[in-house]
Amino acid sequence: MNEEGFKLDISIQQKKIEEMAKQVIREIVESKIQEAMKNIDMEKTIRDKIKTVDTKISQKIETIIKKEIQGFIYSINYNINEEIKKVILEEIQKKPLNGNIYLQVGNVDFD
């Protein structure tokens, strides 16, 4: 073989080499992403996210309900105590005390 018959010119511009390298890397990354996507169960992922959201919402609702119930209980207890004080005061006023006896109910002094 003579030297002139088998000559290969590999004078490729640097920019062209960079473009080809980027294309090869892009193709490798895309294939790896496709492989990874095959292993992901999207339905399970979505179900898990929905379950997480549902759990968080349920916890928030439970906290709000407990807070509201505590408020109702406090309000009811306050109203009951006020009614009890009224009843006691009415009964005491029906039967006045004799002598030097003082009865204190709440912040009211009776002679």
Cα 62 from Cα 64, distance rounded (Å): 5
Cα 4 from Cα 13, distance rounded (Å): 24
Q: Which is more confidently placed, 93 or 51? A: 51
Q: Would you state the pLDDT for residue 75? A: 94
The pLDDT of 18-42, averaged and rounded, is 88
What residue has token string 């996210």?
49
Q: Would you state the pLDDT for residue 85? A: 87
pTM of full prediction above 0.75: no
Cα 75 from Cα 35, distance rounded (Å): 61
pLDDT at 81 over 70: yes
- In contact, 106 and 84? CB cutoff 8 Å: no
Q: Where are the domains of the chain?
A: 14-110
Q: Please count the other Cβ atoms lying within 10 Å of the Cβ belonging to residue 110.
A: 13
Q: What percent of the chain has pLDDT over 70?
A: 75
